């Protein structure tokens, strides 16, 4: 695919996001971002765009399993800051702190390794999609419980009709996404 230099980043991203109806359950329109990863330049530009919207450099980026890991690692690498993974229950091998929450579909428990976040670190939260906001809140609560502060939220996609942004607004600004549906 050749991309015009006049095509906006959001348009290029939109062209790569695959809408999968009724996945993983009826009624959910799943935003499949795996085609985005076929395009290294697009991944690079998404990362640069999210970084450009931050007013200050965070001390670390906290990324949510599993689709938050991809661009999350690029954010950490480009900003030259630590990456702290938040994972589903039972995946992290050392001592963990847990937080249980409700998803757009079902419920889940996320965990973070204890003692990794340094006191008063300003931590950017990153995930692929902001839907209802439950996952982002879980990550933010885990970071705060570990002594960190929330520096902002960065997503590839926001599902604005689910009002997740309103739910996480009390934590901090900025709350950024490259594309909003
Ligand atoms: P939520 O906690 O409701 O904001 O959901 C966000 C998390 O669930 C992210 O980790 C997303 O990967 C995933 N997710 C929720 N809804 C969707 C969707 N419609 N398409 C793709 N991923 C979704």
Peptide bond between residue 24 and the one before it cis (omega within 30 degrees of 0): yes
Given a contact cutoff of 8 angstroms between Cβ atoms, the answer to whether 87 and 157 are in contact is no
Distance 107 CA to ligand 1 centre (A): 12
Q: Could you identify the atom of ligand 1 that is nearest to the CA of residue 30? A: 20
For residue 116, tell me if it sits in a domain.
yes
For residue 6, tell me if it sits in a domain.
no
Instruction: Output the tens digit of pLDDT for each of the chain's 181 residues.
Output: 444 456 899 999 999 999 999 998 899 999 999 999 999 999 999 999 999 999 999 999 999 999 999 999 999 999 999 999 999 999 999 999 999 987 756 789 999 999 999 999 999 999 999 999 999 999 999 999 999 999 999 999 999 999 999 999 999 889 999 999 9
Structure tokens given for 130: 């902001």
User: Model-level pTM?
Assistant: 0.95
For residue 17, tell me if it sits in a domain.
no
For residue 3, tell me if it sits in a domain.
no
For residue 50, tell me if it sits in a domain.
no
Specify the residue with its C-alpha closest to ligand 1, atom 11.
129
Given a contact cutoff of 8 angstroms between Cβ atoms, the answer to whether 178 and 10 are in contact is yes
Selecting among 67, 87, 146, 158, the annotated active-site residue is 67
Nearest-5° angle of CA 31, CA 43, CA 7? Answer: 85
Backbone angles phi, psi at 2, to 5 degrees: -95, 135
For residue 42, tell me if it sits in a domain.
no
d(CA 140, CA 110): 11
For residue 29, tell me if it sits in a domain.
no
The single residue listed with the structure tokens 């428990």 is 109
Task: Quote the number of domains for the chain.
Answer: 1
For residue 64, tell me if it sits in a domain.
yes
CATH number at residue 110: 3.40.50.2020
Q: Which residues form the domain of 73? A: 55-180
The verdict on whether 104 is a catalytic residue reads yes
d(CA 118, CA 151): 14
For 47-60, the three-class secondary structure string (H helix, E strand, C coil) is HHHHHHCCCCCCCE
What is the CB neighbour count within 10 angstroms for residue 61?
27
Cα–Cα distances in Å, from 125 out to 11, 148, 155?
24, 11, 8
Distance 132 CA to ligand 1 centre (A): 8
């Amino acid at each position: 695919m050749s991309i015009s230099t006049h095509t906006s980043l959001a348009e290029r991203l939109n062209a790569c996001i695959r809408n999968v109806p009724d996945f993983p359950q009826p009624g959910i329109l799943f935003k499949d971002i795996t085609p985005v990863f076929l395009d290294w330049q697009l991944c690079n530009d998404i990362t640069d765009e999210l970084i450009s919207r931050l007013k200050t450099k965070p001390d670390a980026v906290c990324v949510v399993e599993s689709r938050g890991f991809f661009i999350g690692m690029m954010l950490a690498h480009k900003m030259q800051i630590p990456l702290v993974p938040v994972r589903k229950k039972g995946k992290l091998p050392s001592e963990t702190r847990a937080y249980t929450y409700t998803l757009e579909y079902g419920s889940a428990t996320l965990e973070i390794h204890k003692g990794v976040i340094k006191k008063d670190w300003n931590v950017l939260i990153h995930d692929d999609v902001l839907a209802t906001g439950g996952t982002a809140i879980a990550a933010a609560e885990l970071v705060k419980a570990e002594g960190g502060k929330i520096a902002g939220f960065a997503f590839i996609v926001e599902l604005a009709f689910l009002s997740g942004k309103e739910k996480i607004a009390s934590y901090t600004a900025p709350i950024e996404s490259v594309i909003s549906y």
